[in-house]
Structure 1
Amino acid sequence: MSLESISIMDILNKNVKTAEQNQNILEISKIMFDNNIGSVVIVDNYESNNPVGVITERDIIRILSTTQLGNFQMPVSELMSHPIITLSSKSSILDAMKLMYERKIRRIIVLEENKFVGIVTEHDLFNILMKNKDLITIVSDTNFPIPQKDMYQEFTHHWFSNSYFK
């Protein structure tokens, strides 16, 4: 098994919470809280379900620290991270890992024939590596396209910030 042979469709989260771009940050925060999630994909509208941005917990902290309270009613389209970073459903988890590393992002929107099908997060990638120890050997190799120091930092971050010791 190699990282190139595992499709991102194998680890894709299809149950993605979305919100329309005209909703406000308080509505988005409620979606995150009610669903215990760290991000919401923003779509142009629910009918077409075309992703146009993402709001994350980190974005909300940034918005709270820099925005006046009256601006919380502003449409999320003015506050979301965009443009979105996408991959084709035909991509591998290696493609996702490299793109996340290069773009310094933690989630990727997955499209199939230009239609939104789900999201892959760095947490999803970490979980697949933890379930298959042979893959850990691959990512720790000196020839791996992501520097070992960066991979080690990501492993350490996930290992200690998740429930592995709880």
Structure 2
Amino acid sequence: MKLSNLMSTPVVTCSPDDTLRVVNDIFKRTQFHHVLVVEQSLLVGVVSDRDIFKALSPNVGKASASKADLATLNKRVSQIMTHSPVCLPVHAQLIDVVKLFNEHIITCVPIVNEQRQPVGIVTWRDIMRLLLERYQSKAGK
């Protein structure tokens, strides 16, 4: 199976210069767990909701938040993102992404075109959803 048939599109992106406040708001508004970081349309990194969770003060959003707690929202994405993420070309196959998930401690694989511009993303959840669909279709027969 080609990844182009499995990947999620369009991708949500941000800039390395964006603040964590911007990305945190994206995660709050969407059900996404990863945002691709682009600079001049090229993939340069990935930031996950877990990265944000670790980088922000646990007091952010609480009445007890201090100025120092709130200042963590002003950190830049470039400070916490995964730089030069593992990615695959759009013509890659399902087996290629499965191998990457097994070789690296990652939860998503950005899919890029020949210019390294992101065109989609595949997460481990996408793989699990596909397995469930295939299992259910075979069990139903």
Task: For 1:61 and 1:52, locate their aligned partners in 2 and report how far apart those are by CA, in whole Å.
Answer: 21
Deviations 1:72-91 (A, max 9, x none): 31221111112211111111
Task: State the partner residue of 1:157.
Answer: none
Provide the rounded CA distance (Å) in 1 between the counterparts of 2:129 and 2:10.
17
**Higher RCO (CA < 8 A, seq sep 6+):** 2
How many pairs were matched up? 127
Gapped regions of structure 1 (runs ≥ 5): 1-5, 137-166
Q: Normalising by the residue count of structure 2, what TM-score does the alignment of the two structures yield?
A: 0.81
Q: Secondary structure at the match of 1:128?
A: helix
1:126 aligns with 2:118: no
Q: Counterparts of 1:4-153 in structure 2 under 5 Å?
A: 6-44=1-39, 48-64=40-56, 69-114=70-115, 115-133=117-135
**What is the distance in 2 between the residues matched to 1:102 and 1:68?**
36
SS of 1:108's equivalent in the other structure is strand
The residue type paired with residue 57 of structure 1 is D
**Cα distance in 2, alignment partners of residues 116 and 61 from structure 1:** 24
Gaps of 5+ in 2: 59-67
The CA deviation at 1:110 is 0.6
Percentage of matched positions with identical amino acids: 25
Structure 2 SS opposite 1:104: coil
Residues of 1 paired with 2:118 and 2:53: CA distance? 27
Deviating 4+ runs (over 6 angstroms): none
When normalised by structure 1's length, the TM-score is: 0.69
Cα RMSD after superposing both structures: 2.1
d(CA) in 1 for partners of 2:80, 2:70: 14
